[in-house]
Amino acid sequence: QSALTQPASVSGSPGQSITISCTGTSSDVGAFNYVSWYQQHPGKAPKLMIYDVNTRPSGVSNRFSGSKSGNTASLTISGLQAEDEADYYCSSYTTSRTLYVFGTGTKVTVL
């Protein structure tokens, strides 16, 4: 089971919006609405930001939103803030024996 494909890096200025893509296959992203996104600051544990494609857990800013089209999911961060600078990983449930597959990770830089 290959990892989901994400851009290595995305950057934006404070206040701007950025979008991170997550491309999988018809066996994972395209097959289920169990796509999630995690934020990870250096040396810290991942934090769930979006689940079930577009649902925000309690306490997560509404500047974070998710969507999906076919085999590609996306995370959009609007009104970019310095604290959003981190690594972001997507994840999906999969029909393979691996059960879960993560993305390659995207480093978000706030210019």
Give the binding site for another protein (CB under 8 A): 3, 34, 36, 38, 44-48, 51-52, 55, 57, 89, 91, 93, 97-105
* Closer to another protein by Cβ: residue 17 or 98: 98
Least distance (Å) between residue 109 CB and another protein: 17
Angstrom distance (rounded) from CA 56 to CA 62: 8
* Closer to another protein by Cβ: residue 18 or 105: 105
Angstrom distance (rounded) from CA 34 to CA 53: 6
* Closer to another protein by Cβ: residue 16 or 109: 109
Angstrom distance (rounded) from CA 47 to CA 88: 9
Least distance (Å) between residue 13 CB and another protein: 27
